[in-house]
Amino acid sequence: MSSESATTPVQDREESVNWRNIPQISVLFGLLLCIYGFVADKEQFAYSYLTAFMFCLSIGLGSLFLVLVHHLFDAGWSAPIRRYLEHLSCLLFPWLAIAFIPIGFMGPEYIYKWMSADPHTDHALHAKMFLFNKPAWYMISGGLFLLWGWLTQRLRYWSLQQDKSGTHEFEGELLFPEHLMAGFSRNLQGLPFEKDNQQVLCTRMMRIHAGYGILMFAATLTAGSIFWMKSIQHQFFSTMYGVYYFAGSVWVSIAVAWIIARILKAKGHLPMLHRLQFYHLGTMLLAFTVFYAYIHFSQYFLIWNAAMPEETFWYVLREQGSWAYVSWLIIIGHFFIPFLMLLRIDVKLTNKMMVPVFIWVLLMHYMDMYFNVMPEIHPTGPSLALADLGAVLLLGGSLAWIFIRNLFDHPICPQRDPRMGEAIEHH
């Protein structure tokens, strides 16, 4: 397959005009609902906005993880979908950083009550004062987005450089083994990379960034989930909360990746996609369905077994009133339904079955974020508000708009990824 056969960015942009209508409409309605929600109840709006933000943030972080894993494990099957996963991860900075600004303004007054509390009268706050204080919160929040921006931009830079180097032809041949190993050999001998090995350099640099990036990812995701969501109830203590948020983030990102892949293939933008990519995405979703359930149950089991007040109150609140029904909905909907649906191999390859599953995944993940945030202001049970819908439409529509715009600025599929041969070979 040659790069000349691919559609140009201009053609792709023209064909995508109808795509942009949906995000624009979403942004318009979302903005109107957010304005109404802010005027009606500022506290409710603040929590609704935070819920929508953490939902969108999880998609960006989960996509970044999938890109890192692609490079670390030298995955061939995921080469055709790598580029738009990079686009999703690049939403972390600056766009999600900009979306975070309202939280920075509303947080001290409406969301994070510990910011205005006296640490000398609050034992939990006093014990965590080295982290839970205003300067640290703002500095760490800004630092997280800068780190994500650095990592995503470096990966994207070398990805685009790879498009400009190397051979145009894949022909089902694996360029990776001989070319990359030759480059490693020259590097170990202290010799410079040859001009013809520029493609090798790009692949190598993306792997290097993925190596340290996976450690950075683990630390920053944990910090973000703790500072922005767990700290709503600052008394709560859990060593597994970061892993819990990670599992849900990757889970929902796989669903988004599958939906985008199906749309792009239907539009003719990714003709090289075939059953292999969709099957592996379905298999990964099954794996992270089990992983999420394991982490959530482990956290619940350890907290109840220890029976410590600073831990158990979080679950006690969510098992009272109408929240008990939400708890059961998450248990059934977040694990049992997708788990049972994805067990069969043929289901993973059937659009009529998979489309509802992935839409259900999006709904369940939002419900999970809602379950984490809203009990603080609605202790007796969920209370749906127009601001909830407005925040999702505004943030989701804005990010989708930006994603579609950036998607067609460059080739949707990596043009000279040495791992592309493996993906095409199984076509």
Phi/psi-derived region of residue 99, left when phi > 0, alpha when psi is between -120 and 50, beta in every other case: alpha
What's the pLDDT score for residue 197? Answer: 59
Per-residue burial over 60-88, b if 16 or more Cβ lie within 10 Å, else e, is: bbbbbbbbbebbeeebbbbbbbbbbbbbb
What's the pLDDT score for residue 198? Answer: 62
What's the pLDDT score for residue 296? Answer: 94
What's the pLDDT score for residue 106? Answer: 96
What's the pLDDT score for residue 129? Answer: 86
Distance CA 275, CA 239 (A): 39
What's the pLDDT score for residue 317? Answer: 94
pTM summary value: 0.89
What's the pLDDT score for residue 19? Answer: 60
Q: What does the DSSP assignment read for 129-155? A: TTTSSHHHHHHHHHHHHHHHHHHHHHH
**Residue ranges per domain, the chain?**
3-425
pLDDT along the chain (427 residues), means of 10: 44 53 92 97 97 98 97 89 96 97 95 90 84 93 97 94 63 40 46 52 88 96 96 92 97 96 90 88 96 95 89 93 96 96 88 92 97 96 95 97 90 84 68
What's the pLDDT score for residue 1? Answer: 39
- In the block, which residue shows the tokens 């995921």? 78
Task: State the maximum Cα–Cα separation within the chain, in Å, rounded to a whole number.
Answer: 70
Angle between helices 42-72 and 82-89 (to 10 degrees): 140
What's the pLDDT score for residue 182? Answer: 47
What's the pLDDT score for residue 273? Answer: 87
Joined tokens for residue 122: 């609050």
What's the pLDDT score for residue 426? Answer: 58
- Per DSSP, helices labelled H in 235-333 are 241-266, 275-306, 309-317, 323-331
Chain centre distance of CA 360: 17
